[in-house]
Amino acid sequence: MVDLALKMILDDKTRFAITVLGVGFAVALVLTQVGLFFGLLDNASVTIDRLDADLWVTARNTPNVDFANPFPESYVQRVRSVPGVTRADNLIVWYAIVSLPSGAKEQVVYYGLENFPLWNFPWDVASGDPSDLRRGRYVMLDESAERRFGAFEAGDYREFLGRRLKIIGKTRGARSFTTSPIAFVDYGLAQALAPDELEGRTTFVIVKLDPNADPIAVAAEIRRRLPYNDVYTKADWASASQHYWIESTGLGLTIFLTVFLGALVGVVIVAQTLYASVAEHLSEFGTVKALGGRNLDVYGIIAEQATFAAALGYGVGFLFAQALGPVLEQLDMRMIITPTVYVMVFVGTLALCLAASALSFRKVASLDPAIVFRG
């Protein structure tokens, strides 16, 4: 079979290159924005996802894991007495101001637990042992803090809310949505750092369930016993934390607009170049019809050209996004692009390129094959 569509489109390589680059730009824009969006969302719930808890008990109307409200720590006893609960511990998530050797001050989010290893938290330890945190005024800091705090090593001291804490190790991948670095301290120390708000109080109770227990039923029973608290499953709490940021910051709308504009750029470029190409080759399409080609045959030529532009453009955009990933990582901006996103963006690119060719379809549909006899 002679592939007229391909030969025709490759006959003007400059125009085709512009089309492919246009689609590639749009795809790269969409992939990068969506990847950064998911990267940010992952930050919003990464501690919930990684901490080995099935249920989270929060103060009433706590919007997300970073903005916690204290409640009496003794509530944990009521949770432990609920059938199906294997273990329940208090967890403090709070903010602290850290004085740096330079004299500057930075904010940090700290997580306080009595027994970190039992909760598999922190999940990626670069150096040090989390079980040592309970032995004194010790802190572990995430490596990502180095961008704000400057270089630090185990054995260094930093001042948290006026108290000197010794850094005993580093973690990896613990980030908050607000970009404040994450620190890990013993539960008692976490309370001592903010005694006015946290003495005798906690911000969460985290719950491990018996493998045979029904999380929904156990959550309902905890709600009955703690009527002034909220209880979430792990997935619901992660989702609530993410949705808070999507809705309260307008992040969702921003991403939607960027993706929409990216797609629009791609559609306009493909529509414009395909339409120009069709207009330029109108007599050839007329010849196809005169020789016995149906409208369907002509649509097939244009659709194949749009598909080819979409596939190559997607490839260019994909490579660009892949190359951009490590660069953004250096800037502490993570892109998370799942295979599903790649597939969806490819299908979307294909669909939009075909939609963009609809304008050209209309032009050739009304084309009278008798133009071949009109010079």
Partner 1 sequence: MLAIEARDVTKTYGEGRLAVPVLRGVSLSVARGEVVALEGPSGSGKTTLLCILGCLLTPSSGRIAIDGQDVDPHRADRLWKVRRRSIGFVFQQFNLFPSLTATENVQYTLNLRGWRGRKATREADRVLDQVGLGHRKDFRPRDLSGGQKQRVAVARALAGSAPLILADEPTGNLDSEAGAQVLDLFRSLAKVENRGLMIVTHDPSVRSIADRVISIRDGQLTTGEAN
Judged by the rule CB under 8 A, the positions of this chain that interact with partner 1 are 1-2, 4, 7-8, 10-11, 283-284, 286-294, 297, 368-370, 372-375
C-alpha 15/C-alpha 274 separation (Å) is 9
What is the closest distance, in whole angstroms, from the C-beta atom of residue 375 to partner 1 in the complex?
A: 6
Of 41 and 274, nearer to partner 1 (C-beta) is: 274
What is the closest distance, in whole angstroms, from the C-beta atom of residue 257 to partner 1 in the complex?
A: 40
Question: DSSP readout, 88-127?
Answer: EEEEEEEEEEEE-TTS-EEEEEEEEES-TGGGT-SS-EEE
Of 10 and 343, nearer to partner 1 (C-beta) is: 10
The residues with which 181 forms a beta bridge, in sequence order, are: 175
Quick check: helix, strand or coil at residue 68? coil
What is the closest distance, in whole angstroms, from the C-beta atom of residue 234 to partner 1 in the complex?
A: 59
Of 68 and 274, nearer to partner 1 (C-beta) is: 274
Of 7 and 83, nearer to partner 1 (C-beta) is: 7
C-alpha 140/C-alpha 166 separation (Å) is 8
Quick check: helix, strand or coil at residue 87? strand
Residue 24 CB burial class (10 angstroms; 0-12, 13-18, ≥19): buried
What is the closest distance, in whole angstroms, from the C-beta atom of residue 2 to partner 1 in the complex?
A: 4
Polymer length in residues for the chain: 375
Of 96 and 364, nearer to partner 1 (C-beta) is: 364
Question: What single-letter DSSP state applies at residue 226?
Answer: -
2: tokens are 């002679």
What is the closest distance, in whole angstroms, from the C-beta atom of residue 8 to partner 1 in the complex?
A: 5
Of 2 and 151, nearer to partner 1 (C-beta) is: 2
What is the closest distance, in whole angstroms, from the C-beta atom of residue 284 to partner 1 in the complex?
A: 6
Of 127 and 287, nearer to partner 1 (C-beta) is: 287
What is the closest distance, in whole angstroms, from the C-beta atom of residue 358 to partner 1 in the complex?
A: 21
What is the closest distance, in whole angstroms, from the C-beta atom of residue 273 to partner 1 in the complex?
A: 16
Question: DSSP readout, 117-180?
Answer: GGGT-SS-EEES-GGGGGGTTEEEEEGGGHHHH----TT-EEEETTEEEEEEEEESS-B-TT--
Q: Are 182 and 176 in contact (CB under 8 A)?
A: yes
Of 264 and 370, nearer to partner 1 (C-beta) is: 370
CA 275 to chain centre: 37
C-alpha 258/C-alpha 5 separation (Å) is 32
